[in-house]
Amino acid sequence: MSENDILIQVNQLYKIFGDNTNEALEFVKNGMGKDELLEKCNCVLGLNKINLDINKAKIQVVMGLSGSGKSTLIRHLNRLIEPTSGEIIVNNQDILSLSQKELIQFRQNNMSMVFQKFALFPHKTVLQNVGYGLAVQNIPEKEWNEKAKKWINRVGLDGYETYFPGQLSGGMQQRVGLARALATDAEILLMDEAFSALDPLIRSEMQNILLDLQNELHKTIIFITHDLDEALKIGDRIAILRDGSMIQDSNPQEIIMQPADDYVSDFIKDINRARVIQAKSIMTHTKVKSSGATVKEDMVLEDILQIMSDAPSKPVTIENSKGKVTGKIEMDNLIQGMKRPKSQGTNITG
């Protein structure tokens, strides 16, 4: 699958909550901000001119603080929320043109969703919860039972089929949520702060489960989070939202090395750079082998530091996954990499 295989396209998407959204939309298109709009039209600006291309079989993280519009954005993809204006293309199909019936079909077959507060059906057993997406398609019970059991096993909940969600811990409940979403075999998985309600250890465990599954299933995942560490761990690309506007959309290394503005800089301020930044982001490009040890492109600074501390004067050779030399790293590169960068764009105060 090529890098540029785009599955979902969001074009010029606006969402305004309130009455008289048409008038408000004109104001927003002419550059009115969130606060002014609220004052003038009593409308809340949810999403402001969002453009986003989501690659097939990748994990696209959408990040932002609460109120930034990230949950609103993900709910547009399966039309749980209707946009005020804009275009959403999934698999070359404009989903805003779907009739109610087609929309139901589309949701059954193409997308499934995992929720922050799990949103399991409390009156249904684990088995019935996991099979729900299949049962609403009127698939025979025997068939969906079998599939549901397979996914319950896959998320490690064997033996809990007859339990009710209320009898399970938070982590186990979200495994049920994940299994329920996977059971329909939908190509696209929407995850709305799916792991935010879990405690840190369980969260990290769930992230690993997700990454394992992704290695096997190659779904297109849109993952909402407010946690940068989580975004960096699982994201192939990270989009950052602020007050309904998209501020940056790039791969994780770029976010750290070239934050678009002060807001993003602020976001990445507290992360452990040595543990996140990879060799390829800071190396000096060269095809010549250096005198020191040879390491892979995606090794993080922390590990390179370990190697270099034995022989500080010898530059380390960097090679790509095919074993070809692509660059070198000297002590100075490491120091530069550790330094927090200035934002690239215009500074936003406040």
Partner 1 sequence: MEWFFNFPDMSRSDLREFKKTVDFAFTDFSRSYGAEIEGFFEPLLMFLVWFEKFFINTPWPLIIFGILVLAWIGSRSIPVVIGTFLSFMLIGYFGMWEDTMSTLAIILVATFLCISIGIPMGIAMARSNKVQAVIVPVLDVMQTIPSFVYLIPVVMLLGIGKVPGLIAVCIYAIPPIVRLTNLGIRLVDKDILEAADSFGANYWQKLFGVQMPLALPTIFAGVNQTIMMALAMVVIASMIGVKGLGLPVLRAISNQYLALGLMNGLAIVVLAIIFDRVTQKFGLRMQKYRNDSKD
Residues at the contact surface with partner 1, assessed by CB under 8 A:
78, 80, 104-109, 111-113, 115, 117, 119-123, 132-133, 135-137, 164, 166-169, 180, 184, 190
Q: How would you classify residue 88: left for phi > 0, otherwise alpha for psi between -120 and 50, otherwise beta?
A: beta
Nearest CB to partner 1, comparing residues 93 and 251: 93
Closest by CA position to 4, among listed 66, 57, 77, 68: 57
Nearest CB to partner 1, comparing residues 60 and 184: 184
Task: Report whether 283 contacts 256 (CB < 8 A).
Answer: no
Q: How would you classify residue 244: left for phi > 0, otherwise alpha for psi between -120 and 50, otherwise beta?
A: left
In angstroms, how far is the first alpha carbon of the chain from the final one? Answer: 43
Biggest CA pair distance of the chain: 68
Q: What minimum distance in Å lies between the beta carbon of 165 and partner 1?
A: 8
Q: What minimum distance in Å lies between the beta carbon of 17 and partner 1?
A: 16
Nearest CB to partner 1, comparing residues 123 and 289: 123
Nearest CB to partner 1, comparing residues 62 and 168: 168
- Give the separation between CA 337 and CA 345, rounded to whole angstroms: 19
DSSP per-residue letters across 61-93 = EEE--TTSSHHHHHHHHTTSS--SEEEEEETTE
Amino acid at 62: V
Q: What minimum distance in Å lies between the beta carbon of 56 and partner 1?
A: 21
Nearest CB to partner 1, comparing residues 116 and 278: 116
Nearest CB to partner 1, comparing residues 126 and 334: 126
Nearest CB to partner 1, comparing residues 106 and 263: 106
Q: What minimum distance in Å lies between the beta carbon of 124 and partner 1?
A: 8
Where is 271: in which H helix or E strand? none
Q: What minimum distance in Å lies between the beta carbon of 113 and partner 1?
A: 4
Q: What minimum distance in Å lies between the beta carbon of 255 and partner 1?
A: 29
Coil, strand or helix at 270: coil
What φ, ψ does residue 69 adopt, rounded to 5°? Answer: 100, 5
Task: Report whether 278 contacts 299 (CB < 8 A).
Answer: yes
Q: What minimum distance in Å lies between the beta carbon of 57 and partner 1?
A: 21
Strands (E), the chain: 6-17, 44-55, 59-63, 85-90, 93-94, 111-114, 188-192, 220-225, 237-242, 245-250, 284-285, 294-296, 316-319, 325-329
Nearest CB to partner 1, comparing residues 220 and 343: 220
How many residues are recorded in the chain? 350
Where is 5: in which H helix or E strand? none
Q: What minimum distance in Å lies between the beta carbon of 192 and partner 1?
A: 10
- Residue 317: both structure tokens together: 């050779």
What φ, ψ does residue 328 adopt, rounded to 5°? Answer: -140, 160
Q: What minimum distance in Å lies between the beta carbon of 186 and partner 1?
A: 9
How many other CB atoms sit within 10 Å of the CB of residue 125? Answer: 18
Nearest CB to partner 1, comparing residues 123 and 340: 123
- Give the separation between CA 251 and CA 317, rounded to whole angstroms: 24
